Amino acid sequence: MIADILSYISDGNWVELLEKYRSLGPFPGIFLTFMKSFIPPLPTIVLVGGNAAVYGFWLGFLYSWIGLVSGCAVTYLIVAKISNSRFAKRWTSKPKVQRGMRWARQNAFSYVFLLGILPVGPFVAVTVAAAAARMPFRSFLLACGMGKAIMVFMVSYIGYDLKRFMERPIELLYVVLFIVASLWVSKRIEKRFARAEEAIDTTTVPLDSMK
């Protein structure tokens, strides 16, 4: 079922679906952006851009932002609640999440804010790491909300003016460059976290050596 949803949305039917169920108000636009936190493969750019195309720039921006941030908030609260369960321990034992937890403890706000700006990247892992590292919920919500606001604003601008991009396909190059740049920045941040973590590990003195 999830594969069918992903295929349907990825085939460019998201705007058509929103138009079909527009009588339900903001619910469709908010719901699937909310579900992004629980189904990571959902394409953020398609969802956010489609909301802007159907609801208009500002309403599309608002609905996408509410959906994404509330999804992250619920994910954070769930992980914080079950952080001692077997499932949570298995998830947080993954190298990426472990790395994220260390950085969330030391650079919590900037860590969440910077990765929240990117429309692509492992933000679910960021949310899990922040919750497992006991980052204060208010700080997480503020950093996430600010980062997602910047990202949603940029993607909504593209989605709102989609007709222009269709009439002048060459301008789609900006979209491609934006995605590529986001991936590059995400990888750079991740590598920086990894290098800093290695430096911390090499400078940490084992307790046994202090005896």
Kindly list the domain boundaries of the chain, sorted by start residue.
Answer: 28-200
Q: pLDDT-based confidence at 208, cuts 50/70/90?
A: very low
Report the 10 Å Cβ neighbour count for 87. 9
pLDDT in tens, 31-84: 989 988 888 778 888 889 888 888 888 999 999 999 999 999 999 999 888 877
